[in-house]
Amino acid sequence: MIGYDTFAELQKPEQWRSFFVVRDPRDLVVSRYHSARFSHREIGNIADVRKLMSAMTDEEGLVYTIEERFQELADIIKSWIKAVQEEGNQSRMRIVRFEDLTAKNNAAVWHEMLQHLDVQVPESTLESILSFYHHSRLKPPGGKSLAKTEKYRSGKHGEWRSHFTPLLTERFEQRFGDLVQELGYGDA
């Protein structure tokens, strides 16, 4: 994922259009935590992070994720929000919610996004593609069952609710302010 500043530096055609997919930042924190603690391959500093997190409770690991591992992602999201809000960018750029792209009746969202990009796809083709790649059809790599310590995300919006304690909510809001509201999630 790249921030808008990096995107702005890329060579683009004169009539470019773009979209940026966001997810409820609280769900992103939970996903980032589980990925680092359980499922990512041990590349970069993941082995060190995983070792550190293995001595933590889930709540401590999530606090660590909020305070030490989410700022860069939050900054990227904020850069796109700011860019879309700037004068003249609304017609070129869209922020699209992941939950809308993966919803049961998502064809209208995809159709609008493809229209924005000036990409013509027959409705029947779009519906076939969306059906084939729907999250409910996806399986972990190799189709194997997961070990107890592995995490394959359900993709369901609001999973953060089963993980966020009052402490996590407080820490998240202290650190990232109204990011959740800026993206239109509110208390959803």
The domain spanning residue 59 has which CATH number? 3.40.50.300
Q: Look at residue 118 and tell me if it is in a domain.
A: yes
Buried b (16+ CB within 10 A) or exposed e, 8-45: eeeeeeeeeebbbebbbbbbbbbbbbbbbbbbbeeeee
* Per-residue pLDDT of the chain in tens (188 residues, 90 and over written 9): 899 999 999 999 999 999 999 999 999 999 999 988 888 777 778 889 999 999 999 999 999 999 999 999 999 999 999 999 987 788 999 999 999 998 888 999 999 999 999 999 999 999 999 988 877 776 666 655 545 445 555 657 899 999 999 999 999 999 999 999 999 998 65
- Global pTM reads 0.85
Structural domain contains residue 44: yes
What is the number of domains present in the chain? 1
Domain membership flag for residue 122: yes
- Evaluate whether residue 145 is within a structural domain: no
Q: Does 77 fall in a domain?
A: yes
Domain that holds residue 75: 16-137+161-181
